[in-house]
């Protein structure tokens, strides 16, 4: 009986050494497996932020152009929208009776399009 206990204790320390040797470097492997997922997540967050900024810029440009179109006309409104959104933005101004609708579309990353629109009532 005593012999078994001694032998088991010796085997237990040998098993510890064997297990410790097998687990060496496992944290590095786990990190290497998770790293691409983290990179994809960070890249998608960056693209979403750029798209949000482009959408806000397009909406601001449309709002400003609608306000300016009421008093100064379409040419000034289009110029104001280009100042806010950039010269590559597509600015459309439509008159529908007493209402003016301005739509601004601007390119965003990955071929996406940011769109903003505003409606204003023309002065009589």
Report the mean per-residue pLDDT for the chain.
85
User: Per residue in 42-59, pLDDT tens?
Assistant: 999 999 999 999 999 999
* Residue keyed to tokens 């890249």: 43
User: Per residue in 14-38, pLDDT tens?
Assistant: 666 656 556 666 778 888 889 999 9
Residue 96 has pLDDT above 80, yes or no: yes
Residue 1 has pLDDT above 60, yes or no: no
Cβ atoms of residues 61 and 85 within 8 Å: yes
Choose from 3-7, 25-29, 70-74 the range with maximum mean pLDDT. 70-74
pLDDT confidence bin for 6, thresholds 50/70/90: very low
Q: Of the candidates 78, 79, 84, which has an alpha carbon nearest to the alpha carbon of residue 56?
A: 84
The C-alpha R_g of the chain, in whole angstroms, comes to 32
- Calculate what percentage of the chain has a pLDDT beyond 90: 60
Residue 118 has pLDDT above 90, yes or no: yes
Q: Mean per-residue pLDDT for 65-78?
A: 93
Task: Measure the CA–CA gap between 77 and 89, rounded to whole angstroms.
Answer: 13
């Amino acid at each position: 009986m005593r012999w078994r206990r001694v032998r088991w204790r010796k085997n237990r320390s040998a098993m510890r050494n064997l297990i410790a040797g097998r687990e060496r470097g496992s944290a590095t492997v786990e990190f290497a497996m998770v790293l691409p997922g983290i990179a994809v997540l960070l890249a998608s967050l960056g693209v979403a932020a750029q798209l949000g900024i482009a959408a806000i810029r397009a909406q601001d440009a449309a709002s400003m152009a609608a306000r300016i179109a009421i008093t100064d006309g379409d040419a000034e409104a289009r110029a104001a929208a280009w100042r806010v959104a950039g010269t590559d933005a597509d600015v459309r101004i439509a008159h529908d009776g007493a209402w003016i609708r301005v739509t601004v579309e601007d390119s965003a990353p990955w071929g996406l399009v940011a769109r903003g629109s505003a409606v204003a009532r023309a002065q009589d």
